[in-house]
Structure 1
Amino acid sequence: MQIINLRASINLGLSNLQKSKIPNYNPVARPVINTTIIPDLNWLSGFVTAEGCFFLSIIKSNRTKVGYAIQLMFKLTQNKRDKELLKLIAKFVNCGAVYSKGENAFDFIVSKFADNLNIIIPIFKNYPIQGIKQLEYQDFCQVAALIDIGKHLTEEGLAKILLI
């Protein structure tokens, strides 16, 4: 029952089916944490290790010779109760923005190439991401390096990016 009560208090809580099967659950009260600062870059690295995403968007475009546009993105998604935390992170790194993702979640997204290249990548180079997500970050860095020298505008460079 303790596990059910804990589960009922996190993220979206119990499903309607679970609620109907376990009518006497009692969600654990979550403490309200009013953080006003991001402690340091080590904290941010740990948070991103758990919650961050480094990805790339490839869309068809008639504006490029190769027919595709490529955009690097760094993203954190959190429940709406943590919107202020995402705003603090945006202020702390001095780039990106916070966007609504439906009624229950918010995203912090850095999509400007220069910000990813000059702010986000150096942060996690100096304060490394841990675990398997480090591989995602390394791929992100490889693609950024190719874009930085214009390789994404060639067939060969695009093929290399698609391979990564």
Structure 2
Amino acid sequence: MSFFSVGFTVKGGPLSNNYSSATVDEPKLSPHWVTGFADAESSFSLKVSKSSTTRSGWNVIPEFQITLHSRDLLLLRKIHTFFGIGIVGEREDRNQVYYSVQSARAIVNVIIPHFDRYPLITQKRADYLLFKQAVNLLIQGQSRSSFEGIRDILSLKGSMNKGLSDTLKLHFPDILLFPRPVVGEQGIQDPSWLTGFVDGEGFFYVKSLKNKRYSSGFNLTMVFSIPQHVRDEALLTKFIDYLGCGRIERAPTRPEIVNFSVSKFSNIKEKVIPFFQSCSLHGIKRMDYLDFVKVAKIVEIKGHLTPEGINKINSLKSGMNSSRMYN
């Protein structure tokens, strides 16, 4: 029996290629989704600059930020609404939009309680824990009131993200870095976390290669993938158990990247597509998913073995991911 006919429907009509349709009539963001998306797309940082108005001679601004392509502006506004603090801005020269929270008080009152209750599970959690300690020091006024206070914050900053800049190393050559927290293996607590993570890091795409051995003239493969830095390989491995399918792949040219991949059609049909039907994507990636489903419908009835079916698939493929046109 076709899985498309049992509890699985795709609303009819051609999918509009504009981002305004991506979030229409969608449910509110789940806190687990927000954490999953933050695991994929957010950053926790400490901006340090010289200051003539503080006793320490330095000023520190903490920032929680999410930066996306401008096509996902509506999604960013939904995140802004979810937290109820911060600002949404645009970098027109880069086709980027961003959500930013720079108030230490707002971070302590809203951002930290959220991520304490709904924890990050990638290695980004280590940056968050260091960030949290630094913000607590800022609330106590240590970075403004004493040179030792700024050194304590720099000790934390040096273990975050890319560490200290060359300028800060020049001014503080003997900073001892705070030990980076060890993030142990953690499981996925809610399916919405995975949906949020895929909204940020996942891909739905179709590979069609010319091959004379097939009656249609093409060999077609549908792929769902999630690439990550090798430091989160253990987490990617858990996706195999969670979804009941997939494998871990490595690219010889990029040894620092590992990829969770599902390409067996029966797994795409029976596990991947139903998962995202029951736990909806929220961003622009939902449009790629819907086109992915349309391709699967063609493949299920063997349409990909005909020139007409391949033409339809190639037409859908040409509008997915980076090839999609937006108004």
- State whether TM-score is above 0.5: yes
Q: Does the CA-based 8 Å contact 1:9-1:28 persist in structure 2?
A: no
TM-score by length of 1: 0.84
Moved over 2 A (4+): 1-6, 21-33
How many Å apart are 1:31 and its aligned residue? 3.8
Partner of 2:99: none
Change beyond 3 A, Cα 1:29–1:69: farther
Q: Kindly report which structure 2 residues correspond to 1:146-157, keeping only aligned pairs within 5 A, or say none.
A: 146-157=298-309
Note if 1:92 corresponds to 2:242. Answer: yes
Q: Is the 8 A contact 2:204 2:289 kept in 1?
A: yes
User: TM-score, normalization: structure 2?
Assistant: 0.44
The alignment partner of 1:62 has SS state of coil
Deviation track 1:10-42 (CA, whole Å, cap 9, x = no partner) reads 4xx48xxxx6x6462889875432233211211
Q: For the residues of structure 2 that align with 1:74 and 1:105, how far apart are their CA atoms?
A: 16
**What is the letter of the counterpart of residue 72 of structure 1?**
M
Tell me, in whole angstroms, the C-alpha distance in 1 between the residues paired with 2:292 and 2:178.
39
* CA contact 1:76–1:109 (8 Å) conserved in 2: yes
1:73–1:109 CA contact under 8 A, matched in 2: yes
CA RMSD of aligned residues (A): 2.7
Name the CA distance, whole Å, in 2 between partners of 1:49 and 1:72.
18
Contact 1:79-1:104 at 8 Å conserved across structures: yes
Which residue of the partner structure matches residue 142 of structure 1? 294
Name the CA shift for 1:35/1:23 in 2 (closer, same or farther; >3 Å): same
Aligned counterpart, 2:46: 2
Residues 151 and 100 of structure 1: CA distance in aligned 2, closer, same or farther (over 3 Å) = same
Amino acid at match of 1:86: L
Q: 1:90, 1:97 within 8 Å by CA — same for their partners in 2? A: yes
Aligned position for 1:127? 279
Distance (whole Å) between structure 1 residues aligned to residue 282 and residue 167 of structure 2: 38
CA contact (8 A) 2:250 2:257 kept: yes
- Identity %, equivalent residues: 31
Q: 1:24 aligns with which of 164, 169, 172?
A: 169
Larger Rg: 2
Displacement of 1:136 after TM fit?
0.6
1:62 aligned partner: 212
1:77 maps to 2:227: yes
Equivalent-residue separation in structure 2 for 1:136 and 1:146 (angstroms): 16
Residue 47 (str. 1) matches residue 197 (str. 2): yes
**Amino acid of the structure 2 residue aligned with 1:38:** I
Deviation at 1:89, TM superposition (A): 0.8
Partner of residue 159, structure 1:
311
Partner residue in 2 for 1:117: 269
Q: Which digits, 9 at most, give the CA deviation of each residue in 1:84-122, with x for residues without a partner?
A: 000011111110101123321100000101101100000
Mark the runs of 5 or more structure 2 residues left unpaired by the alignment: 1-44, 49-153, 317-327
Q: CA deviation at 1:47?
A: 1.0
Q: Against the structure 1 CA distance between its residues 116 and 24, is the aligned structure 2 distance closer, same or farther, given a 3 Å change threshold?
A: same
Contact 1:51 1:76 in 2 (8 A): yes
Q: Residue 58 and residue 50 in structure 1: after superposition, are their counterparts in 2 closer, same or farther (change >3 A)?
A: same
The verdict on how the C-alpha distance between 1:70 and 1:132 changes in structure 2, with shifts beyond 3 A counting, is: same
The total of aligned residue pairs comes to 158
